[in-house]
Chain A
Amino acid sequence: NAGVTQTPKFRVLKTGQSMTLLCAQDMNHEYMYWYRQDPGMGLRLIHYSVGEGTTAKGEVPDGYNVSRLKKQNFLLGLESAAPSQTSVYFCASSSLAGVVDTQYFGPGTRLTVL
């Protein structure tokens, strides 16, 4: 099993450009998450999904949109990138097992917005 994969690994954008980050998991997990990691800030939740066709806002959702059209995929979109969105983005997934379940993380996407 590949676990959680993220595409692309690196990306450089200019201010105002758009892009989509793809997260895929092959563990049949119900829950999926997008976090951003900034120096000295830990990880902060952007959006999450509790199942196919559902999405919800996390702690820092502004400037991002998400979609979960298929259970195994969770897409994060930036419609008009800003330098403040320069960060490392992590996707995670977990199964429908209540509060104790482990989140499995992808390797991350490093995004730079100039």
Chain B
Amino acid sequence: GNSVTQMEGPVTLSEEAFLTINCTYTATGYPSLFWYVQYPGEGLQLLLKATKADDKGSNKGFEATYRKETTSFHLEKGSVQVSDSAVYFCALTGVSGGGADGLTFGKGTHLIIQP
């Protein structure tokens, strides 16, 4: 079945540091890939997505590129802020049923940005 592996946290960085959170996946077919963010006490929000190989998703200074050859979708940001502190989830769609059968999530990476 489908699976997502992402780096375990917590990841602690200083403000303005460069961020990379690794994500690799196993899936049949050609899934769509997502990064969701969860701020303390809240639900998940979509951060960015990519639907086919070599697509780059971007939002709020975050970027991730769909790499089919390495089955990866690493999240990057050039200069993090304290407000980026949150839990980040990598996810993919199922490839059956038009994606209606829900998302498969990684375990989440807790990011802590220190001033």
Tell me the A residues contacting B by CB distance below 8 Å.
Answer: 4, 31, 33, 35, 40-45, 48, 50, 56, 58-59, 90, 92, 98-108
Contact = CB atoms under 8 A, between A and B. Distances in A.
Interface of B: 4, 31-32, 34, 36, 42-46, 49, 51, 89, 93, 95, 97-108
A42 B49 contact: no
B44 A105 contact: yes
Contact of A100 (B99, B100, B106, B108): B99
A106 B41 CA distance: 11
A13 B102 CA distance: 28
A33 B42 CA distance: 17
Contacts of A92: 44
Given A90-B44, A105-B45, A107-B42, A56 B101 contact: yes
Contacts, number: 64
Contacts of A100: 32, 49, 51, 93, 99
Contacts of A45: 101-104
Contacts of B44: 43, 90, 92, 105
B111 to A, nearest CB: 15
Contacts of A56: 101
Given A100-B32, A107-B42, A48 B89 contact: no
Given A92-B44, A102-B49, 8 more contacts: A31-B100, A42-B106, A43-B103, A44-B105, A45-B102, A50-B97, A90-B43, A99-B98
A48 B100 contact: yes
Contact of A41 (B100, B103, B107): B107
A4 B44 CA distance: 11
Contacts of B108: 42
A39 B81 CA distance: 25
A22 B51 CA distance: 31
Nearest to A108: B43
Contacts of A101: 99
B107 A40 contact: yes
15 contacts: A4-B43, A42-B106, A42-B107, A43-B103, A48-B100, A48-B102, A50-B97, A92-B44, A99-B95, A100-B93, A101-B99, A103-B46, A105-B36, A105-B45, A107-B42
